[in-house]
Structure 1
């Protein structure tokens, strides 16, 4: 199993990047970490891991898991939220909300010697902590039964006050696990903070939520008097003072003008007989509200103002350290995604450092607004902008598309010109109408000519002009019953090549005179006088 010694700044535990160590307790260590999402989203969280000396102990590992499961069930603004539980290469870790604040132990160190917090401020902080602790005590399982959760390590180190003046209870279950184990301590000793333990907890008796109320009472005593009610010369003397039957001295013994009603609340909370204590943490909160009337005039804003005044340097130092850690994390991320060396050489500053000519700076066009920004080991404000290779390929595609569009436009233009401005010879020929011809004047193909010989084609052309409109269809004419005589030709009309003149010549039909001298008789299949012999379909 990996240990805490292998953790370092910049390492990832699952989705979380470690930024800086924050604190270390008796069982675990806490780191500030960052969860980075898409489109620039990020969130600072706290990562809690088991100490190396306990990481191989199966009992502490199970307690660590139980703590996360219990704390995740608590939903209250005065309790730190557990967001996730993970394991990376055998290392368990909890993910909690990041609290921008300081523990009450820091308040005690910064107070002037012999003075405590103002009574309304101390009461407001303890009221918030009591309400959060009551929510923890009321935690139930899925079946609706109380899990009888007892924090067992309520102390100034585990009550944080945020920059906004909100008290938060932290570290559930860890102290409980440490006090039941002797893995890291000798026989007869206790891990944790004995000065804030209830007598029954020190004696190993069965405990309930009233043990936490005793711890809250001791904290209230310390915050308002700057003295511990049972402090001895050492830890053993302190433990003996807590379990003895002698009660603690009243707070008014050390502070003149200590409110009597507040003193009664404090003494009832730290009673050694738990039957005399408040039954619940919520009852303690209500008693504080009644004992300190001015507490109603104090809210989170007043506590925040007091906190920022008393702990200004600590808060600013913590915030500056976090900003620096985030900046370093951004630099690491930029270095991990920096372009290759051939892209890096395009940086003008790099070329200038090598003594070469400096090209003009790259100015991205409006169509290509993306640029690659990287940090090259310089100060955070110094960056270099390199044109992305993607813009060159986009330009090539654009040029090709424009060329294709031009060709298409040219083809359409040529087609339009050919459609509207056609040569004359492509026009469809028209056949002019001619005067009607008397059928009696047209010689039958079987009738003889006066001379007994066939007419020449020229004479036929000049004497036998017939209107095409008056001609029957070719399919309506029956084929001749006998072959055409020798020396005659079938009339032809060339419709595909008309004479290119202003007025096309009409199509003529040439008739061939018959060689039979007698008057023709009606024979089947023989055309009668007044009809036109069969011609080829002109194809109109």
Structure 2
């Protein structure tokens, strides 16, 4: 579901802001990826134009390829994070990198100034190693994905302020190929970097990307296009008959080893090229010492400082102003709104030896009335405390009644017995329950073995004086109780 708040759009877990770039296929926007507890991350979202997003076959192919591209994890690749297909709109979510494309930087390069070969080689080594990571990517099961970028071009090489070159738009080219014939003007700039086998419609492998990388490096070193034809048909014909020329013809300072590496990467027959992008990267590294990423960063700043500063301010403003919740949405609850813990709730007065509801026993067995003690540090629910309080109060009243009968004077006594002269409570008073010999320590029976039991918080009613009874006392009622082998006192019914 998508909706808007002010100038921001909410698409799933993304807040999409202003446009930062555009092309024939899509616009690119700043966005914030939202998470729980206020987490947010700045990303870039490519929004495909409706012409593409409404083409069901294109969308299906695009999503499949983007899923594969998401398996590529490398410092020289801008990672594909997500694809959102919503209401005939298609959004590709990528890492956000503050930088400029090689295409933009080349346009700022003075025409009479050729690029330092060491700088050009360093940039292309990063591109080649990013390509190699994609070519070597495997599925979750460990099967090779055999990814081919198909659109290695200056527009798809992003060089960050950190001096690192990164490839973008993995997985897009195959889906775009099917609409090339109807968008000739948009494709002309990309065709010049395609391999002969790609233009011929032959099966592609990683060596097609190697060819494209070699074309880009050749143009960086010479400062001129490798193909001279202007019209699309003539350009295609020139590539299909392509015979590479040494870059040193146009840039005499290029070392012989670099010249040879370029010629190998530009072979029309893919069998004569480097087998992998990593092989070409190593050949370039052997031909000339690369520079550090710091030197590359200085070159980027020298050509695009004002543009990058402007973008950095826009990113900062977006991060400060973009809302993380929409008006109709529900934000993550704060800790302050969480329910108070049980430690903040009023607790009932504790009762000594509070019995709980008897636990179910297996058929044919009798179990004791017991209190299930909570484990140390365990939480007790409010309902459990209330129920235990009620049940405990009932049994406390029963205990009080038993106490009254135990304090009743013998039949030969005609005087009231003061409450103060009543004997102390025995520590093992039973409430019609037998203590199981197999009871666990955590199950406390009504019979308490503590030598100093706490006093009950329920006051027993004061005994009243009874008139003397007639007749001789019953000798069986002296004493009026018996004590069994477990030490439990039982009162005689006929003596009550």
TM-score calculated relative to the size of structure 2: 0.62
Match of 1:102 among 97, 100, 103: 100
- For structure 2, the 5+ residue unaligned runs are 330-335, 338-345, 347-410, 415-496
Aligned pairs for 1:330-345 (under 5 A) are: none
Structure 1 position 476, deviation (Å): 8.4
Instruction: Please state whether the residue corresponding to 1:196 is helix, strand or coil.
Output: coil
Structure 1 position 114, deviation (Å): 3.3
Say whether residues 1:310 and 2:308 are aligned partners: no
Structure 1 position 189, deviation (Å): 10
Alpha carbon RMSD of aligned pairs, Å?
A: 3.5
How many residues are treated as equivalent by the alignment? 342
Q: 1:19-74 CA deviation, whole Å, 9 max, x = no partner?
A: 11122344333211012445553211011232211122111101221122111111
When structure 1 is superposed on structure 2, of 162-171 and 309-318 the one drifting more is 309-318
Match of 1:118 among 107, 116, 129: 116
Match of 1:281 among 277, 281, 289: 277
Alignment-derived partner of residue 169 in structure 2: 171
Structure 1 position 183, deviation (Å): 7.0
Alignment-derived partner of residue 441 in structure 1: none
Say whether residues 1:272 and 2:264 are aligned partners: no
Alignment-derived partner of residue 343 in structure 1: none
2-structure distance, mates of 1:476, 1:9:
96
TM-score calculated relative to the size of structure 1: 0.57
Say whether residues 1:329 and 2:309 are aligned partners: no
Alignment-derived partner of residue 351 in structure 1: none
Alignment-derived partner of residue 66 in structure 1: 64
Say whether residues 1:149 and 2:147 are aligned partners: yes
**1:164–1:301 CA contact under 8 A, matched in 2:** yes
Q: Which has the greater radius of gyration?
A: 1
Q: 1:379-432 CA deviation, whole Å, 9 max, x = no partner?
A: xxxxxxxxxxx9xxxxxxxxxx9xxxxxxxxxxxxxxxxxxxxxxxxxxxxxxx
Structure 1 position 163, deviation (Å): 0.9
Q: 1:119–1:335: structure 2 CA closer, same or farther, 3 Å change rule?
A: same
Match of 2:204 among 185, 189, 207: 207
Say whether residues 1:12 and 2:31 are aligned partners: no
Aligned pairs for 1:263-412 (under 5 A) are: 263-292=259-288, 294-295=289-290, 298-329=291-322
Match of 2:248 among 243, 248, 252: 252
Alignment-derived partner of residue 341 in structure 1: none
2-structure distance, mates of 1:120, 1:277:
22
**1:9–1:19 CA contact under 8 A, matched in 2:** yes
Alignment-derived partner of residue 193 in structure 2: 196
2-structure distance, mates of 1:302, 1:108:
16
Match of 1:50 among 38, 48, 51: 48
**1:199–1:272 CA contact under 8 A, matched in 2:** yes
Alignment-derived partner of residue 26 in structure 2: 28
**2:29–2:46 CA contact under 8 A, matched in 1:** yes
Alignment-derived partner of residue 130 in structure 2: 132
Match of 1:229 among 226, 229, 235: 226
Q: 1:313–1:237: structure 2 CA closer, same or farther, 3 Å change rule?
A: farther
**2:17–2:29 CA contact under 8 A, matched in 1:** yes
Structure 1 position 166, deviation (Å): 1.1
Q: 1:189–1:325: structure 2 CA closer, same or farther, 3 Å change rule?
A: closer
Q: 1:182–1:106: structure 2 CA closer, same or farther, 3 Å change rule?
A: closer
2-structure distance, mates of 1:334, 1:67:
32
Q: 1:195-215 CA deviation, whole Å, 9 max, x = no partner?
A: 101111111122211111110
